[in-house]
Amino acid sequence: MKSIKLLSSEDAVSEVVDFVTILGLLVLSIGIIGVAGYPIVKNAQEANHIENTKQSFIVLANNVNKVVIGQAPSQSVELKMYGGSLSVTGNSSIKINATNSTNQNITLVDRQMRSIESTVGETYVAYEGTGVWAKYPNGNTILVSKPLITNQSNVLVIPIVTIGGIASAGGSGMSRVTAKGVPGVVFYKNVSNITVTINNSTYSNGWKKYFNNVMAWSFCISGDCTARLDTNNIDVYILNIQLDTEVE
């Protein structure tokens, strides 16, 4: 009789209701954390992978540029991949015009560049034109590492790198990029009004930002990027190199 009163008491019912309510709230909280928290964790992880890839490409640029300027015949760099791809790709090109001492417009360079490119999700990080660039899903492109274009003491030096190869790799883990080549130098004396045009580059907005922030160069104009250096009687050195590149 006493046990029946206990089971039918309001205190027992209240304790059961409280337990069910707390359990329900706990399950709901775990569900909300799972639904809302997972994208946050995933985005943070991807941001970390992008930053690591950018740093790796800075190392790649520093090493490959040793080949470009003739400090080494070849360089090999390991890069960590995060489920995307690593490849030699693109159709970018560079064209440089100037006015010579007889006031004639001449073409100093008209060559393909291409890029070594890695993807992390929908973000692209690439080595192109001796610089490193990153393009985000919203279209914003940033300069990660400056190209080796120098203008000092009335001497302009522009490296022109054509990246050869069609190799690519995908997935996660370590991959290796090997580049080799022999640079050549072409010299132009006393030229003026130099224009540099970057065509068909995925990273043209990054090139625009680069030239727009370099003293003496005019803002980029046109669909891709054409920058102008309004100067007279400057000596120009063009470093030409065909990089034979392997990705494995």
pLDDT in tens, 28-81: 666 665 555 556 666 778 789 999 999 999 999 999 999 999 999 999 999 999
The answer to whether residue 23 is domain-embedded is: no
- Global pTM? 0.83
Q: Is residue 167 part of a domain?
A: yes
Could you tell me the residue range of the domain that residue 48 belongs to? 42-247
In a domain, 5, yes or no: no
For residue 129, being part of any structural domain is answered with yes
Number of compact structural domains in the chain:
1
Whether 35 is in a domain gets the answer: no
Ordered DSSP codes for 36-89: HHHHHHHHHHHHHHHHHHHHHHHHHHHHHHHHHTTS-SEEEEEEEEEEEEEEEE
pLDDT tens track for 109-137: 999 999 999 999 999 999 999 999 999 99
Would residue 30 count as lying in a domain?
no
Within a domain: residue 243?
Answer: yes
CB 245 within 8 A of CB 164: yes
Domain assignment present for 10: no
How many angstroms from the chain centroid is the CA of residue 197? 19
Exposed/middle/buried for residue 68 (C-beta within 10 Å: 0-12, 13-18, 19+):
buried
Amino acid found at 128: E
